[in-house]
Amino acid sequence: MDGNRHVLLTHTMKRLSILIVNFNTCGLLLDCLRSIREYGPQIPHEVIVIDNASTDESVPKLQADFRETILIVNARNVGFAAANNQGLKCATGDYVLLLNSDTKLTDGAIDTLVGFLEKNPEAAAAAPMLLNNDGSWQRSFFRFPSALRTFFHILGISRLVLSYLKSRRFAPFLSRTPGLGLYAADFDLEKPRKVAYVLFACILLRREVLAKVGMLDERLFFYHEDCEFGYRLANAGLAIWWVPSSKVFHLGGGTSRSALRESFRYYYESLLHVFQKHESPATNLALRMAIFFGFMVRAGLTLFGPYKSLQIPSTYGSKPSGCQRAFGWSIDRCSYYSSLAALAWRR
């Protein structure tokens, strides 16, 4: 793109290209690169970092400590999808690994994913088990979104609803119902499984898959790039596999922590775009109503005390993350939530 600076772009063909998008996550990025240096794949590979106009020490630190890394420096923040596409255009690998800057590899993690794709030619992509910082399991694969789950998510009661469904009364129904079985308490954490989509914190793709379904949707600035890509794979009859024998640590929210209000807005704007692109008009309308009524309820209740704080929109964290302090006066919070409700009818 115009105004970008490309640094250290001289490189030879590799079997694997590792792409990392960075925006003001210097410490996390350096830890991620150190983990690649220590636990990187055995096959010939290249590491491409796309920096989205960071104002911290990311670029000088990377240039000083990781000179072997291919670096693309953008003059402005072009978003997650567009930045990854920049990396994809200069990647030379037969396989492409999209990796977040807030991840750390473990020994053999990438080799396991490469081996899985080589042994299973029907698999278009493979993703590892993600771990929280304390080593506990982190949910990283999902069904495609629904209006009802979005409504619960907006009101912050998803965990309560899920706990109720997993109660003794509903657990048998949950495990026998298509789709809902994904959340059954007896889920097998050892067996690979085909899933609708995974977090793009870490995913290994075949290059020919990108040629077939295209690169990431650049109309998505932040959030739901992974979900939208999953729709396109499914429409093309291609499958993503979750491979738990490969393990990668994922801190989560590395970029969005610094801009919670904007992150909240991007999350729902992106979801609306995905539904408009891939779902039926009726399902799209249901989502709009869920967002409208969900945030109107949230706006009304915040005047009486609830919803004083924002949390980074996510479906995978095992513990609440992000800002836990009140933001603004109650009237300010009410106005903010009302503006999010209005998103439902702007597109």
Taking residues 167-193, report their average pLDDT. Answer: 65
Residue at 87 is within a domain: yes
> Is residue 188 in a domain?
no
Q: Is 9 left (phi over 0), alpha (psi -120 to 50) or beta?
A: alpha
pLDDT at 141 over 90: yes
3-class secondary structure, 200? coil
Same domain, 88 and 168: no
Same domain, 243 and 279: no
- Give me the domain span that covers residue 46: 5-141+196-254
Tell me, yes or no, whether 191 lies in a domain. no
* Residue finishing a domain among 155, 182, 209: 182
Return the higher-pLDDT residue of 299 and 328.
Answer: 299
Span 281-316, pLDDT tens digits = 999 999 999 999 999 999 999 998 888 887 755 545
136 with 172, same domain?
no
Query: In the prediction, which pLDDT does 157 show?
Result: 87
Same domain membership, residue 334 and residue 224: no
171 — pLDDT class (breaks 50, 70, 90): low
Give Dmax (Cα) for the chain. 61
Say which amino acid occupies 85: N
Range scoring the smallest mean pLDDT among 84-98, 261-275, 292-306, 320-334? 320-334
pLDDT at 99 exceeding the cut of 50: yes
Pairwise pLDDT comparison (118 vs 257), residue with the higher score: 118
Distance separating alpha carbons of residues 246 and 269, to the nearest angstrom: 32
- Residues 105, 31 contacting (CB under 8 angstroms): no
pTM: 0.87
131 with 10, same domain?
A: yes
Would residue 56 count as lying in a domain? yes
Tell me the pLDDT tens digit for each residue of 147-170: 998 999 999 888 787 777 666 676
Give the pLDDT of residue 343: 94
Question: With 90 as the cut, is the pLDDT of residue 229 above it?
Answer: yes
How high does pLDDT run on average in the chain? Answer: 87
Given a cut of 70, whether residue 262 has pLDDT beyond it is yes
Same domain (yes/no): 134, 104: yes
More confident residue, 228 or 316: 228
Residue 62 lies in a domain: yes
Same domain, yes or no, for 105 and 173? no
Contacts of 42 (CB under 8 A, 6+ apart): 111
Specify the CATH number for the domain of residue 111: 3.90.550.10
Q: How far apart are CA 126 and CA 143, in angstroms?
A: 16
Per-residue pLDDT, 117: 98
pLDDT of residue 81 exceeding 50, the answer is: yes
User: Which of 232, 254, 276 is the last residue before a domain boundary?
Assistant: 254
Residues 53 and 110 in one domain: yes
Statement to judge: residues 43 and 115 lie in one domain: yes
**192-216 pLDDT per residue, tens:** 999 999 999 999 999 999 999 999 9
**What mean pLDDT is predicted for residues 96-123?**
97
Answer positive or negative: Cα dihedral of 336, 341, 342, 347.
Answer: positive
CA 57 – CA 51 distance, rounded (Å):
11
Q: Is residue 190 part of a domain?
A: no
Percent of the chain with pLDDT over 90: 71
| Pairing label, strands 123-131, 202-206 | antiparallel
Do 30 and 177 fall within a single domain?
no
In a domain, 297, yes or no: yes
Residue 342: its pLDDT value, please?
96
Could you tell me if 203 and 329 lie in one domain? Answer: no
Our count of domains for the chain comes to 3
Tell whether 16 and 122 lie within a shared domain: yes
Percentage of the chain beyond pLDDT 70 is 83
Domain end residue (candidates: 254, 269, 296)? 254
Considering 11-20, 189-198, 320-329, the range whose residues carry the highest mean pLDDT is: 189-198
Confidence of residue 1 (pLDDT cuts 50, 70, 90): very low
Q: Can you give the pLDDT at residue 261?
A: 83
- Angle between helix 225-235 and 260-278 (nearest 10): 20
Q: Is residue 187 part of a domain?
A: no
